[in-house]
Every structure is written in C-alpha cells, then in structure tokens.
Amino acid sequence: MIPQIHNTLLNAGKFFQFTRNMSKVVKSLKYSKHGEPVEVIELVEDQLKNPKEYEVLVKVLAAPINPADINTIQGKYPVKPTFPAVGGNECVAEVISVGKNVSKLTTGQHVIPFTTGLGTWTTHAIFAEEDLMPVSNKIGLAEAATLTVNPCTAYRMLKDFVELSPGDCVIQNGANSAVGQAVHQLCKSWDIKSVGIVRNRPDIAELKKYLKSLGATEVLTEEEIRASTMFKEKQLPRPRLAFNCVGGKSATEISRHLADKGVMVTYGGMSREPVVASTAALIFKDIAFHGFWMTRWSKENYNSSQRTHMFSELCDLIEQGKFVAPVHEMVPLQKFKDAVAAALDFKGFAGKKFILDMQN
C-alpha cells in the first residue's frame, strides 16, 4: 500500500475511534442531601461515555416537575434516592445512540421512562433499554413528558376499584389538578359522567368552563357541593366512585354523596388533614375507602399486559386529539429555580404544571 494512503487510513481510523469514545457533556439538576429544592438543587455539568451493550443514550427533550419529585427532594416521600441524585421521574427523550445488543429501540425514536427513579432532570442520560418505552413522535412533548404518572393514575383508579358502565357517575375533589384533568377526559371518552369539586377563586367561571371543555359534566366549588341537591333530585345519578387528593372536610363532603356501596379512593392529601368517614356512611351505606399509589402499582405490574394495554389506549387517545396535557408552562432548564419555587407556591391551587424544556 502507498505510504501516504496507509497513513491517511490509519489516521481516519484513529479519529473514528476517538469520536466513538468521546464523552457527551451533560447538564443535570443534582442534589446531595434532602432539603428545600431551591436550596439543595444545583445545575451540574458531567460527562457521559457511550452506552454499553444493553444501554441507550438519550437526549431529554422535556421533563415535568411533579409534587412527588418535590417531596422526594425534601425527604418526605417513601422513595429514598442514593446521593448524589438527579431529580425527576418523568420525561420524553430522543434516542441518540444504542449499545450493540439493543434490539427494541433505534436512534431517532422518542421514549419515556418505563420505571421510576431514573433521574430525568438532565439534558442527556444513559438508561437500560428495558427501562424505556417508545412512543410515537407524533405525540406532543408535553403529553409524552407527563404520560406515566397522572394519566396512568386516573386510568387505574377508574378501572380497578369499581366496574363502571356508560352513564355511571364519579365525583372528585382537586378536579383542576393534573390527575383531575385526566379523569375528566377519560370519563368523556368512556361515556362516564364526572363531577369535579374545586376551591373557589376569582377566575372560577373560567376554570369551570375549561374543565367542562375537557369533559366534566358539572364543576362545583366546595361551598356549592355542600348545598347541592343535584343527586337527591336525580339530576345526576349518585356517584359510585369518588377520588380524593385533598383530605379533611373536602373528602368527608364528597363521600357523603356516594351511592350505596360506593368507593372512595385517596391518592393524595394536599390539606394534610386526615380522611374522616361518618359512621352512618360506613354502616348504612356500606361505603368502602381505599388508597392508591401509582408507583406501587407500576412495580407490581411492571411487565403486565394491563400496563401495556393502558399505555396503548392512552397514546391512541392522545393521537386522536381526545386527551391533552394538563395546563402547563414550559420553562428553560436555566430557570429551574424559578420553576421549582413556582411549583411549591401553587400547591395545586392553579392546576398548573411546570415542565423543564431541555432544548432551551
């Protein structure tokens, strides 16, 4: 071989090997101790090498800030991370490269986490192939980024506690929360009537109109539901199922409207007050009370057909335009402190979710 050509090919090979092993600069929101997020989270630069045999390198496109994420950082959540930890549990990401033994994912695909605790508040990450699920690139970033927690919580609560039929009714407090918005949309798709209870506020008429546009049959304030006779007068059938994310008097009030043998499912406690049931409701109406935690359900049903079918149905509804992301605001990664502080201040009152935009 001519020496010049040999040297050119050798240098090209070395350059290819160099670029193949070249690390990726990544920015992540990390914390090394529990505390208030605005105080303990730092924007840190690291480097990632190429994915191993069964790993995937992804570029995160968007990642929401959920109450559970905040509680985890504060040390108030049952899931305890290993420090230093990257915040976040949800995201939508694009596959950049794959390990040589990866068989189900390809570059360019959009993916979402199939498990919790991966640490998604980052610009890039390397995850195991089995921890990711592909989603259609046609699905909006906000819908995909928020798919695995709130819509799934709403879906499972509607499916797993009472066998509902078209025309049945459910009632929920915190109806403007992300889960509440998902409940209304699923009920509309399945021809189930849904009554939402919200706290009074200056823009209550606008909020009611928006929730009804999602699918709510009726929206009442906490004061209005106490005086309402809609169920007694049979304007709507008594709810067979109730969802509680507030606790305290709000939970007691919606349980009062349940039908005989009705079920209340508690999935949150924004008021930090206990759920109190009347003795009469327990004895004479035989009402049942359950709790629900999506993280537990996902772990217990990791590879189940139920879980696969749930994601398939939710994605189909999104692509058909029958399910949209909750009211949200996209925030550049650099402004993460503003987003975290705002997420803490809202406490579910405005029903607004903040999503970190990793592309800006």
- What amino acid positions are annotated as catalytic residues? 77
C-alpha neighbours within 13 Å on the C-beta side of residue 51: 24
Round to whole Å and give the CA distance between 296 and 206.
36
Identity of the residue numbered 301: N
Nearest to 94 by CA among 80, 115, 108, 79: 108
Round to whole Å and give the CA distance between 87 and 29.
6
**For 48, phi and psi rounded to 5 degrees?**
-115, 135
Token reading at 279: 């003795």
Cβ-Cβ contacts under 8 Å for 77 (sequence gap 6 or more): 68, 71
Round to whole Å and give the CA distance between 26 and 124.
6
Strand partners, 31: 85
Strand partners, 291: 266
Q: Are 178 and 146 in contact (CB under 8 A)?
A: yes
Nearest to 358 by CA among 86, 35, 19, 32: 86
Q: Give one DSSP letter per residue of 283-332, joined into a string.
A: HHS--EEEE--HHHHHHHTTT-HHHHHHHHHHHHHHHTTS--PPSEEEEE
**For 47, phi and psi rounded to 5 degrees?**
-130, 140
Token reading at 124: 């890039």
Sign of the C-alpha dihedral computed for residues 88, 90, 92 and 94 taken in this order: positive
Q: Are 266 and 240 in contact (CB under 8 A)?
A: no
CA 23 to chain centre: 31
